[in-house]
């Protein structure tokens, strides 16, 4: 006689932001952290936590509670990649693991560069900002707070209606598609975060619009 066992489903509650970064970019990370605190949304920043062993298990558990992952690309992260030191190899492995988890979980992945050109490939993302976020400027502060409020209230990113934000990398072997949130002047060039090749915007981008 078989047993009819009913398995209870455990509902995953996603209510936090996952921060992927290097702790050496402290000022950049602190700006992000303070913005999250202002909005009142929970965030996970690994250097402030006791990960335990194995560390990957805590990272995975936190990703399961996250609405979005924000990869902060600051000066120290770019310099570490340029020098290819042992610390960078360690950091790169964790970043790759975290982005892989985010992709598998189908949550948003943001790449935000603090005024630097990214110099390592990110295979999966759907939001890109090349100028960073500077909260001392009212328009930047309003934009970033709106992004965070969307995740806190609606659990998703809320773009403004009728404005196209997504772009496609023009290189045939890449074709990465993502929302580009940077205002670019005409003839501007940015680095594709996936293939690291140039993307040229002859007509500029979002010159008359902001989120």
User: For every one of its 211 residues, what pLDDT tens digit does the chain have, with 9 covering 90 and above?
Assistant: 455 555 555 556 688 999 998 888 999 999 999 999 999 999 988 764 556 668 888 889 889 999 999 999 999 999 989 988 777 888 888 899 999 999 999 999 999 999 899 999 999 999 999 998 888 888 888 889 999 999 999 888 887 766 778 999 999 999 999 999 999 999 999 999 999 999 999 999 987 765 4
What tokens appear for 154 in the block? 């609606």
* pTM of the predicted structure, to 2 decimals: 0.88
CATH for 16-159 is 3.40.50.10140
Q: Three-class SS of residue 10?
A: coil
Q: Distance of alpha carbon 144 from its chain centroid, rounded?
A: 12
Answer for the pair 12, 64: CB distance below 8 angstroms, yes or no: yes
Q: What would the DSSP string read from start to end of 27-82?
A: HHHHHHHHHHHHHT-EEE-GGGS---SSHHHHHHHHHTTEEEEEEEE-HHHHHHHH
Question: Cα–Cα–Cα angle for 201, 179, 134, nearest 5°?
Answer: 85
Break the chain into its structural domains and give their ranges: 16-159
């Amino acid at each position: 006689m078989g047993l009819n066992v009913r398995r209870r489903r455990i509902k995953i509650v996603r209510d936090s932001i996952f921060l992927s970064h290097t702790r050496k970019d402290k000022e950049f990370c602190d700006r992000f952290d303070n913005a999250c605190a202002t909005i009142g949304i929970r965030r996970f920043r690994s250097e402030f936590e006791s990960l335990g062993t194995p560390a990957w298990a805590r990272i995975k558990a936190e990703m399961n509670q996250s609405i979005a992952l924000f990869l902060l690309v600051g000066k120290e992260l770019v310099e570490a990649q340029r020098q290819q030191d042992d610390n960078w190899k360690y950091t790169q492995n964790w970043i790759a693991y975290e982005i892989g988890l985010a992709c598998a979980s189908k949550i948003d992945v943001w790449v935000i560069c603090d005024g630097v050109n990214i110099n390592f490939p990110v295979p999966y993302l759907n939001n890109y900002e090349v100028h960073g976020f500077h909260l001392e400027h009212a328009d930047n502060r309003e934009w970033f707070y709106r992004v965070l409020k969307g995740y806190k209230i609606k659990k998703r990113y809320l773009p403004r209606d009728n404005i196209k934000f997504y772009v496609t990398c023009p290189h045939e072997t890449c074709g990465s598609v993502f929302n580009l949130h940077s205002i670019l002047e005409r003839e501007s060039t940015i680095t594709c975060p996936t293939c690291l090749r140039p993307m040229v915007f002859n007509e500029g981008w979002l010159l008359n619009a902001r989120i």
